[in-house]
């Protein structure tokens, strides 16, 4: 007889049934179960057992303990709560919706914060992986790079046993578009996420291999590792071992396919080649260069090694191993001159939120945004709790009679408090169920706006659910506590006589909370106005050139000999005004170098460089403030045009005719460039940063630019692009790649824009919630004063005057809130604007608008209720009593 009744049902029985009954009942059930197994089979018998147990859970059988009493009372409280909600549907709706939005915001933000702080934690031993970043001190100036010298990794590997593994990562800083083709198919791709690692890359980073061996995958210069989706894109399968692909510098053999890299990493690549396939890196290794920060160095420290202690090794390391090479470049007295190379370690888990260096692998997020969004979520939660408290207090007069009767019937104060707390917790629970639904629908929208990949499932975890439950209990208790105290303290004799109804108890707290809400509303409205003004300012600021209708054609260097033919054909297109050439896509990475003038009075200048031709300056509409543009008619091959920032850095009045010496490469002969012109500062980069010095070299009369810019003088932009594309295809096999200058530039504000739009959405929610709270309150106040208003009406008051009476109370509160909210908003926004090198100044207008919007919203809310009241026939109201 191996058939046992279901264990869990037995345990349930034991848990709830009083010992007096338990023995016999269990016996009866078991006897019945055994009979049923014989007659109906095991499954059915088990089912019947369960049903019988459930039907046995009857009050007289329950254990007679204190706990039991509490359960019974809680049951009653929940029943009363439910009835109360049903009785007043508007109130229930506002309360539950408001709270669920509040909770949903917090849950959403929790998911977001969890995501943002989870970056790179999926790597094995991620707590021991660090990036060696470089603080490069030049005489009188400091720059911090995420990159480091190519010699750092081998030095660490050879001489420092504290390091378990170390690897180098390289990305192409310019011209990062790599064309891909295949020997056995005519498919072509252009890849921008083509990074390079050395053979130990996968010793530090634990990417999971689908095929291939992580230990040998990047041993040869021709090896390449693909991600899963790239392999499928190329070959339709992940089984791509030993397949051949062609890149612009030769053929590559696939030696591994890894799982796609999760979104929450600061390194993403589609293809990972070998650092040894990048010629400049090989040269740098050959000469043992310590001065060029060209690769990212990641190291995994051994367990128990303290990173701060290890960091102290770096100065000696640079001196011992790099000193000779640095001396070659900057002279043996480089330290005395003020040069220094200070390496420091960044924990890989912190890079995404905290690292803001030059030359990051990918644009990082900012922990400030995480803080801001968290604060906003808490504000919304505060608003919804305030609504809840306000409405509860307001309704306490209505509940007063109930409390009076309960007290007369012998209810203890503690029982009343627990009743009201149960009620608020009950509402919180209902709200949280609704809020989970809201979050479920909000997450995809949130992902779309912020470009994140949040997952709803991250909150469906025991821990998260537990935290959420505690959190809900907390909100329920906190927001239910004050109303519970107030209501339970009522004197039955007063209440039942009806005197409480007109008392003003609790009104100051209520008003105080309303003021807090208005302060928040005013802050949020003026904040979002100023933020959007700033964004508008950034996108429309005079950048020093005309960014509209400029088409940028990429990779024109690839068509080499056919460039002139292409140029001539495109010049024929009537809708194109000018065609200028340059070496870099405007807004992307530029070359850089240090330049000095043969004059001790003039400062050396470090700046960004590019080559261009005459038409480039014309097409971009740079304004020439001194000197002249390049000119084909002159011999301009050693001419130089600089911007105003360079002039300022040089510290001279008139730089025209001065000669700059280039000393970029000690092996090449130093050239002497003559300054022929100065352009007004123009800004390709995000306006977070100020404009730096720029040097424009002349590309030469037979200049074949990497990038050409064309100004399109026609409304039919698509048609023009199609024409250019057609010309392109007659001269080149390569795909035609282009972009528009204005959208390139806007991309730099993407992270600002994303956070702004999130801010806007939350502002909207906050305002709506303040208004619903107010609406609930207004409803209540109007009901309470209905008799007064009816009497006013009978005595001849007009509709507007009745509404004014209602609105007056609230307007006073808004005034106070305005006085408090404005300075807070002013200081907070000023602090935010300081982040931008170019920003607007805050005017009074935004605050006035915020005040007016709040007043209008309040007026609408209150007068809706007021009008409803005022239109009622006074006899209906006054008839009763």
Contact positions vs another protein (CB under 8 A): 21, 23-32, 34, 51-52, 55-58, 60-61
What's phi and psi for 558, nearest 5 deg?
Answer: -70, -25
Smallest distance, another protein to C-beta of residue 19, A: 13
Q: Nearer Cβ to another protein, position 26 or 805?
A: 26
Q: Nearer Cβ to another protein, position 41 or 666?
A: 41
Smallest distance, another protein to C-beta of residue 49, A: 10
Expressed in angstroms, the distance from the first to the final Cα of the chain is 74
Smallest distance, another protein to C-beta of residue 504, A: 52
Smallest distance, another protein to C-beta of residue 56, A: 4
Q: Nearer Cβ to another protein, position 24 or 653?
A: 24
The DSSP string of 368-422 is HHHHHHHHHHHHHHHHHHHHHHHHHHHHHHHHHHHHHHHHHTT--HHHHHHHHHH
Alpha-carbon distance 785 to 805, whole Å?
11
CA angle 731/732/738 to nearest 5° reads: 105
Q: Nearer Cβ to another protein, position 54 or 819?
A: 54
Q: Nearer Cβ to another protein, position 7 or 60?
A: 60
Smallest distance, another protein to C-beta of residue 78, A: 23
Cα 112 → chain centroid? 8
Q: Nearer Cβ to another protein, position 5 or 693?
A: 5
Q: Which of 280, 336, 339 is nearest to 139 (CA)?
A: 339
Q: Nearer Cβ to another protein, position 4 or 632?
A: 4
Smallest distance, another protein to C-beta of residue 9, A: 13
Smallest distance, another protein to C-beta of residue 51, A: 7
Question: How far, in Å, are 154, 326, 402 from residue 132 at the CA level?
Answer: 13, 18, 69
Q: Nearer Cβ to another protein, position 36 or 227?
A: 36
Smallest distance, another protein to C-beta of residue 27, A: 3
Q: Nearer Cβ to another protein, position 40 or 159?
A: 40
Cβ-count burial of 390 within 10 angstroms (0-12 exposed, 13-18 middle, 19+ buried)? buried
Q: Nearer Cβ to another protein, position 9 or 105?
A: 9
Smallest distance, another protein to C-beta of residue 73, A: 22
Q: Nearer Cβ to another protein, position 31 or 354?
A: 31
Total Cβ atoms within 10 A of residue 124: 12
Q: Nearer Cβ to another protein, position 56 or 652?
A: 56
Question: How far, in Å, are 5, 364, 751, 841 from residue 368 at the CA level?
Answer: 58, 12, 12, 21
Alpha-carbon distance 636 to 101, whole Å?
66
Smallest distance, another protein to C-beta of residue 48, A: 9
Total Cβ atoms within 10 A of residue 837: 13
**CB 215, CB 181: distance < 8 Å:** no
Helices (H) and strands (E) in the chain, counts: 29, 25
Alpha-carbon distance 387 to 586, whole Å?
51
Q: Nearer Cβ to another protein, position 52 or 360?
A: 52
Smallest distance, another protein to C-beta of residue 70, A: 23
The DSSP string of 214-269 is TTTTTSSTTEEEEEHHHHHHHHSSS--TT-EEEETTEEEEEEEEEPPPPSS-S---
Alpha-carbon distance 521 to 510, whole Å?
17
Smallest distance, another protein to C-beta of residue 782, A: 51
Smallest distance, another protein to C-beta of residue 7, A: 13
Q: Nearer Cβ to another protein, position 19 or 834?
A: 19
What's phi and psi for 97, nearest 5 deg?
Answer: -65, -45
Alpha-carbon distance 388 to 484, whole Å?
12
Q: Which of 691, 602, 608, 693 is nearest to 650 (CA)?
A: 602
The alpha helices in 785-881, defined as continuous H runs, are 786-794, 799-833, 844-871, 874-879
Q: Nearer Cβ to another protein, position 28 or 733?
A: 28
Alpha-carbon distance 544 to 761, whole Å?
33
Q: Nearer Cβ to another protein, position 53 or 612?
A: 53
Q: Which residues of 343-379 are buried (b: 16+ CB within 10 A; e: fewer)?
A: bebbbbbbbbbebebebbbeebbbeebbebbeebbeb
Smallest distance, another protein to C-beta of residue 58, A: 6
Cβ-count burial of 137 within 10 angstroms (0-12 exposed, 13-18 middle, 19+ buried)? middle
Q: Nearer Cβ to another protein, position 45 or 348?
A: 45
Q: Which of 476, 505, 495 is nearest to 77 (CA)?
A: 476
Beta-carbon contacts of 65 under 8 Å, excluding residues fewer than 6 positions away, are none
Q: Nearer Cβ to another protein, position 26 or 47?
A: 26
Smallest distance, another protein to C-beta of residue 71, A: 18
DSSP secondary structure letter of residue 322: I
Smallest distance, another protein to C-beta of residue 371, A: 57
Alpha-carbon distance 484 to 417, whole Å?
5
Smallest distance, another protein to C-beta of residue 35, A: 8
- CA quadruple 617, 621, 625, 627: dihedral positive or negative? positive
DSSP secondary structure letter of residue 358: B
The DSSP string of 12-77 is HHHHHB-HHHHHHHHHHHHHHHHHHHHHH-HHHHHHHHHHHHHHH--GGGB--SHHHHHHHHHHHH
């Amino acid at each position: 007889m191996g058939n046992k009744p279901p264990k869990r049902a037995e345990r349930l029985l034991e848990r709830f049934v009083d010992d007096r009954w338990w023995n016999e009942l269990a016996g009866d059930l078991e006897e019945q179960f055994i009979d049923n197994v014989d007659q109906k089979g095991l499954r059915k018998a088990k089912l019947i057992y369960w049903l019988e147990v459930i039907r046995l859970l009857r009050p007289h059988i329950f254990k007679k303990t204190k706990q039991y009493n509490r359960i019974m009372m809680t049951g009653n409280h929940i029943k009363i709560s439910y009835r109360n909600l049903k009785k007043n549907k508007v109130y229930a709706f506002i309360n539950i919706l408001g709270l669920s939005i509040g909770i949903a915001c917090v849950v959403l933000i929790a998911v977001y914060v969890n995501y943002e702080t989870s970056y790179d934690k999926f790597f094995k031993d991620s707590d021991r992986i660090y990036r060696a970043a470089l603080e490069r001190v030049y005489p009188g100036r400091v720059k911090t790079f995420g990159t480091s010298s190519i010699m750092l990794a081998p030095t660490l590997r050879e001489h420092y046993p504290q390091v378990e593994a170390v690897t180098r990562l390289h990305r192409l800083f310019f011209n990062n578009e790599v064309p891909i083709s295949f020997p056995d198919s005519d498919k072509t791709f252009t890849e921008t996420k083509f990074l390079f690692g050395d053979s130990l890359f996968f010793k530090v980073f634990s990417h999971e291999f689908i095929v291939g061996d992580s230990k040998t995958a990047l041993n040869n210069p021709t090896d390449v590792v693909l991600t899963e989706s790239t392999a499928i894109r190329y070959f339709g399968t992940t089984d791509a071992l030993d397949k051949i692909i062609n890149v612009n510098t030769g053929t590559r053999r696939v030696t591994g396919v890894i799982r796609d890299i999760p979104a929450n990493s600061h390194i993403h690549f589609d293809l990972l080649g070998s650092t040894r396939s990048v010629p400049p890196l090989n040269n740098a290794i050959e000469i043992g260069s310590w001065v060029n920060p060209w690769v990212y160095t990641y190291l995994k420290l051994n367990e128990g090694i303290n990173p701060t202690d290890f960091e102290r090794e770096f100065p000696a390391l640079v001196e011992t191993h790099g000193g000779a090479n640095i001396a070659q470049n900057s002279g043996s007295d480089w330290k005395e001159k003020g040069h220094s190379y200070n390496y420091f370690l960044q924990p890989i888990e912190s890079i995404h939120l905290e690292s803001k260096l030059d030359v990051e692998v990918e644009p990082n997020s900012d922990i400030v945004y995480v803080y801001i969004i968290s604060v906003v979520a808490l504000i919304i939660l505060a608003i919804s709790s305030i609504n809840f408290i306000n409405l509860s207090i307001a309704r306490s007069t209505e509940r007063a009679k109930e409390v009076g009767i309960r007290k007369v019937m012998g209810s203890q104060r503690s029982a009343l408090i627990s009743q009201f707390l149960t009620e608020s917790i009950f509402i919180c629970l209902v709200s949280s169920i609704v809020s989970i639904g809201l979050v479920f629908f909000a997450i995809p929208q949130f992902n779309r706006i912020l470009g994140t990949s949040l997952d709803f499932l991250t909150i469906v975890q025991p821990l998260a659910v537990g935290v959420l439950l505690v959190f809900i209990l907390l909100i329920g208790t906190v927001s239910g506590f004050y109303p519970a105290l107030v209501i339970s303290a009522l004197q039955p004799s007063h209440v039942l006589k009806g005197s409480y109804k007109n008392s003003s108890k609790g009104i100051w707290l209520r008003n105080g909370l309303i003021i807090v809400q208005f302060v928040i509303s005013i802050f949020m409205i003026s904040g979002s106005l100023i933020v959007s003004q700033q964004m508008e300012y950034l996108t429309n600021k005079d950048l020093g050139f005309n960014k509209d209708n400029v088409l940028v054609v990429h990779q024109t260097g690839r068509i080499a000999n056919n460039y002139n033919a292409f140029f001539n054909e495109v010049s024929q297109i009537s809708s194109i005004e000018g065609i200028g050439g340059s070496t870099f896509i405007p807004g992307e990475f530029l070359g850089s170098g240090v330049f000095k003038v043969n004059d001790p009075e003039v400062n050396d200048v470090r700046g960004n460089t590019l080559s261009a031709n005459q038409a480039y300056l014309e097409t971009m509409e740079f304004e020439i403030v001194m000197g002249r543009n390049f000119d084909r008619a002159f011999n301009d091959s050693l001419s130089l045009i600089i911007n105003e920032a360079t002039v300022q850095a040089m510290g001279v009045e008139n730089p025209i005719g001065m000669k700059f010496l280039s000393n970029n490469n000690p092996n090449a002969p130093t050239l002497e460039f003559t300054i022929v012109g100065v352009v007004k500062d123009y800004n390709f980069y995000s306006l977070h940063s100020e404009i730096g010095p720029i040097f424009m070299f002349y590309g030469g009369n037979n200049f074949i630019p990497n990038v050409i810019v064309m100004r399109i003088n026609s409304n039919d932009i698509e048609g023009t692009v199609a024409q250019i594309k057609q010309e392109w295809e007659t001269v080149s096999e390569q795909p035609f790649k282009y972009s528009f200058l204005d959208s390139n530039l806007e991309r730099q504000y993407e992270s600002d824009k994303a956070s702004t739009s999130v801010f806007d959405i939350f502002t909207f929610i906050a305002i709506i919630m303040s208004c619903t709270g107010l609406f609930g309150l207004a409803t209540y106040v109007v009901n309470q004063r209905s008799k007064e208003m009816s009497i006013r009406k009978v005595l001849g008051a007009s509709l507007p005057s009745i509404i004014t009476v209602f609105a007056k109370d609230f307007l006073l509160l808004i005034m106070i809130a305005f006085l408090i909210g404005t300075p807070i908003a002013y200081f907070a926004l000023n602090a935010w604007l300081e982040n931008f090198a170019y920003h607007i100044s805050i005017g009074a207008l935004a605050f006035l608008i915020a005040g007016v919007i709040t007043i209008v919203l309040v007026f609408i809310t209150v007068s809706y209720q007021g009008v409803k009241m005022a239109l009622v026939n006074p006899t209906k109201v006054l008839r009763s009593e």
